[in-house]
Amino acid sequence: MSTSNGYRLLIVDDYKEVRSLVSRQLQRQGYEVVEANCVTQAKKLLASDVFDLVITDVSLNDGNGIDMMAAIEPMPKTIFMSGYMQPSMTATMELEAGRNFIYKPFKIKTLAQMVGTAVNNDGDQN
Amino acid sequence: MTKNLETAGTASRLTDPLPAEFFESAPDATLIVNPAGVVMHSNRRARTMFAGEELVGADTSRLGISADDGVALVRNGGKLLAIDVVARQIQLGHESWQLLVLRDSPSVPAERDLTRAWKNLALGEINNSLAHELNQPLAAVTLHCEAAAAAAEDAGNADPELLAELQRATAQAFRASNVVTRLRQLFVFDIGATVAAWPNMLVQDAVRGFVAHSGPKDISSRLAAGLPPVEVNAGLIVQALISLMGNAASLAQSEHGSIEIATEQSAGEVCISITGAGLQLDTDAQRFSPLKDRHASWAGLEFAICRRVIAAHGGRLEVSGQCCAGGKGCFCVRLPAQVREQ
């Protein structure tokens, strides 16, 4: 078991295997990870808890990860995941692969680097 | 007579009596319209273009012609024709009439181009959905491989051959994902040529197209006056409106409802709303996904395409049960209004 690094992450994905594998791998690196499988569950957690970073899929069973996060004021630091990016996604917010967006499939090492940069960055990551 | 012909083609005034025989044989479809917007003369070419329409005595707005925005979409034997409209003022006594010359336009998509664009969009949407659905398990494969490698290392059993096999499996998963990405790139969506179009004309074209396609329906319209134009590919937007009306009608029909299509302006946008009595819309995102369509009568793929078409014009498609009076279900197509130069 790794020593906690003090950062709390929320991972939102309706695809259980991806959610639990990412969660497990990030826990190995010392992060405390909470999981949600839909927008409704994520919203409840975000309303009642504080997270240093949210990692969310864009297409969820009951909504859209981008709209979900854009509705929160102020918006927490977020990394979006998706199998594809289309222009309508960037209409709501600026997404940049490698900064706040990662294409699926990905290597956990790549995501972990983005997570590390995001949680250690005090500026507006989004 | 020849003098009148030349004058009509090059200048904007025609003072002699109307040369009816000239118009009859002119190579371009030509209409002469009185100050009230009623067609007073038409030629042979125009009657062919508007097959089945009674032209003399018809209102130009009913025919789908707007001299102001320079474009018309007309139905001809079930086909949609996109035509350019060139208007010239002609002086008859003290009155200013219009001579409208209608030409098939290569700059505006006609039926064939529209069909191709829609088919391309459909394939693109299917590919997007496949990309999403396939990349999920591929992501799981790569993560499982990495988890297995990490577990082997933790157990002090990091067999180099085992790690190499896991890396090869990961590489194959990425390769499969790249194939999906390349397939998507085959269907890049381009809205093509755009024109400044009057929103009310788009609505009228859509209503006409919808009725022509689906038969008489209980449709009412409430069109605001003085709306600014919108910069659009008129054919694509009209097709999107027809598709939304079809969805609204099929949902409203089950409750014996009617649909209303309305236009209004708000904050730099033009909103075209399609409201249905009996149209029950929840606000979840499922309807946008072509592969997660839960409504038997709901054209999920069409809806996803409509959203994409509207977004490509800088607009957005909203679905709400709240945005219109009476709490009826409503689709709102919001398009940026064109700023006119002073």
Q: What's residue B300's pLDDT?
A: 56
Shortest CA gap A106–chain B (Å): 6
CA distance linking residue B272 with residue B333, whole number of Å: 5
CA distance linking residue B329 with residue B318, whole number of Å: 11
Beta strands (DSSP E) in chain A are 8-12, 32-36, 53-57, 59-60, 63-64, 78-82, 101-103
CA distance linking residue B201 with residue B205, whole number of Å: 6
Average pLDDT, chain B: 73
Give yes or no for a contact between B311 and B334, defined as CB atoms under 8 angstroms apart: no
CA distance linking residue B58 with residue B81, whole number of Å: 19
Q: Which residues contact A119 (CB under 8 A, 6 or more apart)?
A: A7, A52, A53, A77
Q: Helical H runs in B215-233?
A: none
> Which region, left, alpha or beta, applies to residue B317 given φ > 0 means left and ψ of -120 to 50 means alpha?
beta
User: Measured on CA atoms in the order B108, B114, B116, B120, is the torsion positive or negative?
Assistant: positive
Q: What's residue A89's pLDDT?
A: 63
CA distance linking residue A64 with residue A83, whole number of Å: 14
Q: What's residue B3's pLDDT?
A: 33
Q: Helical H runs in B67-159?
A: 111-154
| Lowest-pLDDT choice from A41-45, B263-267, B272-276, B294-298 | B294-298
Q: What angle do CA B251, B255, B261 make, to 5 degrees?
A: 55
pLDDT one-digit tens code per residue, B77-115: 555 566 677 777 777 777 888 888 877 654 444 566 667
Interface confidence, given as ipTM, is 0.83
Give me the residue from A60, A91, A104 closest to B139, CB to CB.
Answer: A104
Q: What's residue A119's pLDDT?
A: 92
Determine whether the interchain pair A105/B286 forms a contact, defined as Cβ–Cβ distance below 8 Å: no
% chain B with pLDDT above 90: 11
Q: Is the pLDDT of residue B253 over 90?
A: no
Give yes or no for a contact between B327 and B147, defined as CB atoms under 8 angstroms apart: no
CA distance linking residue A87 with residue A93, whole number of Å: 11
% chain B with pLDDT above 70: 68
Average pLDDT, chain A: 87
| Cβ of residue A83 closer than 8 Å to a chain B Cβ | yes
**Residue B216: both structure tokens together:** 């008489």
Longest dimension (CA), chain A: 41
pLDDT one-digit tens code per residue, A17-76: 999 999 999 999 999 999 999 999 999 999 999 999 999 998 888 888 988 998 888 899
Q: What's residue B266's pLDDT?
A: 84
CA distance linking residue B149 with residue B331, whole number of Å: 50
Instruction: Mark which residues 313-332 of B lie under 8 Å from A by CB.
Output: 316
Neighbour tally for A86: CB within 10 Å: 18
Among B17-31, B97-111, B145-159, B284-298, which range has the highest average pLDDT?
A: B145-159
**Residue B68: both structure tokens together:** 């102001």
| Burial of residue B309 (number of CB atoms within 10 Å: 0-12, 13-18, 19+) | buried
| Cβ of residue A107 closer than 8 Å to a chain B Cβ | yes
Give me the residue from A63, A91, A108 closest to B146, CB to CB.
Answer: A108
How far does Cα B37 stand from its chain's mean position? 26
Instruction: Mark which residues 29-58 of A lie under 8 Å from B by CB.
Output: none
| Cβ of residue B139 closer than 8 Å to a chain A Cβ | yes
